Amino acid sequence: MNESTLCPSSAIYDKTVLAGEGWIYRIEANQIFRIVDLEGNQAVDTLFYNANDTSERYSATDTIVGQRNIYLTTGTTLLSNLRRPMLTIVADTCGRHDTLGGACAVESNQVRYAIEKRHMHACRNSFLLAIEDPKWDLTKRDIAANINFFMNVPVTPQGKLTFEDGISNPMKYVEMRAEMDVIAVISNCPQLNNPCNGYNPTPIQVLIWNASVRSAGA
């Protein structure tokens, strides 16, 4: 784990994303992007796209192969489907983030839990609502495998995934440097049927700093 030297008061962007809500924003190359788990134990489903060509996007497979690890933390470079660096994790006070669990959907809620769960809001809904403005040049088919920041998804010796209680505490954060202009899309997970959110989804905070602030050590 590695803490940041950046002060929230110097951020150029500061937004609270409520539980279950989606969020989308363009982050310029060399800007610093932080996600804060305000109350702890909250999964944050996240996608990244090349802001200048959205056919290039975060690739879970290439990132896992590139770092030879299924979990993300300080020093991890998030690779695109063209194997190019998109973002680098430069600070992380949680210590582990999931690449395998995917995003909940109304269909998966039915399969995993009960047919009666179909009405419940899910991360895939939040992604689709976030990208509905045509200016983002994204559609339903662009929703690929995502990162689950702060989410605890151990792999058993038999190769199975399990959704376990989170390891993040209040005010833990992950911070990334953009290596290219990116579009970030978040679903602040509304899942109530497994312990990934402690059965109580809570808000998160997103912060962005300019590269000049970082270089000045503020």
pLDDT in tens, the chain (218 residues): 789 999 999 999 999 999 999 999 999 999 999 999 999 999 999 999 999 999 999 999 999 999 999 999 999 999 999 999 999 999 999 999 999 988 886 676 665 655 665 665 688 999 999 999 999 999 999 999 999 999 988 788 888 777 777 789 999 999 999 999 999 999 999 886 677 788 889 999 999 999 877 544 44
| Contact criterion met (CB below 8 Å) for 69 and 77 | no
Q: Rounded distance, CA 199 to CA 201, Å?
A: 6
Concatenating the DSSP letter of every residue in 2-29 gives B-----GGG-SEEEEE-TT-EEEEEE-T
Q: pTM of the full predicted structure?
A: 0.91
- Strand pairing partners for 204? 17, 37
Q: Hey, what are 113's tokens?
A: 């839990």
